[in-house]
Amino acid sequence: MSVATRTKTDLGEMSAAELSELFASGEASPVEATRTALDRIERFNPSVNAFAYVVADAALAEAKASEERWRKGEPLSPIDGAPTTIKELTAVKGIPWRRGSILGGTEPSTREIEIVERLRAAGATILGTTTSPEFGWKGLTHGPATGNTLNPWHTGRASGGSSGGAAVAAALNMGVLHEGSDGAGSIRIPAAFCGVFGIKPTFGWIPADAPSALFELAHRGPLTRTVEDAALFLNATTGWSPRALYGHCPSPVPDWRKVVREGAGVKGMKLAYSRTLGYAEVDAEVARAVDRAVKRLADMGATIEEVDPGFACPQETLLTLWYAAQAKALAAFNPSDEQKAKMDPGLLKICAEGASYSALDYLAARQARAELTVHMELFFQRYDALVLPTMPLTAFEAGVDFPGGGEGRDWSDWSPFTYPFNLTGQPATTVPCGFDADGLPIGLQFVGPSFHDARLLSMAAAYQATHPEPRIGEPREM
């Protein structure tokens, strides 16, 4: 079944951009918006399990402060008072830092990282934290500590992950801005499965001030209903920081909202279209939807060339870096046998493998990653962007790691189109482009050269404006 929602007439169906206009005119207040978001959480979350923690009292207190700033004509930013969520892998003051695991914190955190500080400085109202699998280790959101986060289009299907809670919250507008992280597809996978927009920005735009054994693989970014809302999130969070541990932000930083509102879109763009990257299999319904989307892009003025980027499947490179990083993260907790019995067996398995790698194995993977990055940067000397499916399939049954309950090397077996661009650090977005016969969303992915995120946002905004897909509860063409 799907989760029934109201029609788009109430405050809870507004975007961050629309709420900002209502706050400025005095037609609505941040307190009203926050109460509405909390009401939606109360109504919808029991059916989908998208939240790890909800901090209603703290959120209302922040909303009241925002209301006063808008009353005085002194908002901190356009997202002052915007109901916002943070993925539970991200530390937030006042909320236990669970990290999807029984090993996580149970007491309110006393620390938070710069992306949260920047959202607070922009006046965002934090509603709580959204669910993730244990330590974000897979592209799904279920596990012993978190339970199962379900797809709002069909609650028998998976939400994707590891930012599954954020994607579900975005789809149901339980808040308007949703922070996620993406180490191998963890923003784009759930965004595609749940029919929302997501962007993994070029590594460096958002400061990486939290220690991570994933290093440059671990991007942070927004999941939202609209491209413009994602731009508002990026305006608040991008920019140079002396605290960045890995990678650095160039200067100047674009006005992302201006890019979305005034950008050229796709007209005149030379786009490469790859159906399979040369090595993946794609479901026929997904292929048809993406082919249709590419034809739409051509009709909108883009020049399309069907071409694969010309690299071999980099899964082994990804898994060496991924497994080693997860082994390092787990070692810091030194879990007991009793604790391990309450953890995700898949996580323990990959950590054991990651711990067996040699320094030479790891360095070889780092070298392969660097070579892939150069290969793709050279590819983008010939094309403005690469267009491809976000996922080769739509959301499969909830609660399993592989479609049909089968087995494989790793969850990345069924997500071949996301992790290559974590390895390169390049920007990648996903925008809804249709549905399968079961009414499950399909995502279209744009990838571009490093620090050309503005190009992708402009393209995605133009596509979304020209070919908007219905939201949950709205009729759609069959």
Angle at 328 between CA 398 and CA 128, to 5 degrees: 50
Closest by CA position to 394, among listed 158, 73, 162, 115: 158
163 counts as catalytic:
no
270 counts as catalytic:
no
- Which residue's structure tokens are 């206009």? 21
Closest by CA position to 194, among listed 394, 419, 441, 375: 441
- Long-range contacts at 53-56 (CB < 8 A, ≥ 24 apart): 53/88, 53/95, 53/96, 53/98, 53/128, 53/129, 54/127, 54/128, 55/94, 55/95, 55/126, 55/127, 55/128, 56/127
The single-letter DSSP state of residue 125 is E
186, 274, 412, 458: the active-site residue? 186
Strand partners, 431: 444
Strand partners, 83: 125
| DSSP three-state, residue 289 | helix
241 counts as catalytic:
no
Angle at 277 between CA 273 and CA 281, to 5 degrees: 110
Residue 282: Cβ within 10 Å count: 19
DSSP H helices in 195-311: 227-237, 256-262, 284-299
15, 162, 163, 181: the active-site residue? 162
29, 87, 181, 274: the active-site residue? 87
The single-letter DSSP state of residue 353 is H
- Which residue's structure tokens are 């709420």? 19
Task: Write the burial class of residue 234 (CB in 10 Å: 0-12 exposed, 13-18 middle, 19+ buried).
Answer: buried
Show which residues are catalytic: 87, 162, 186
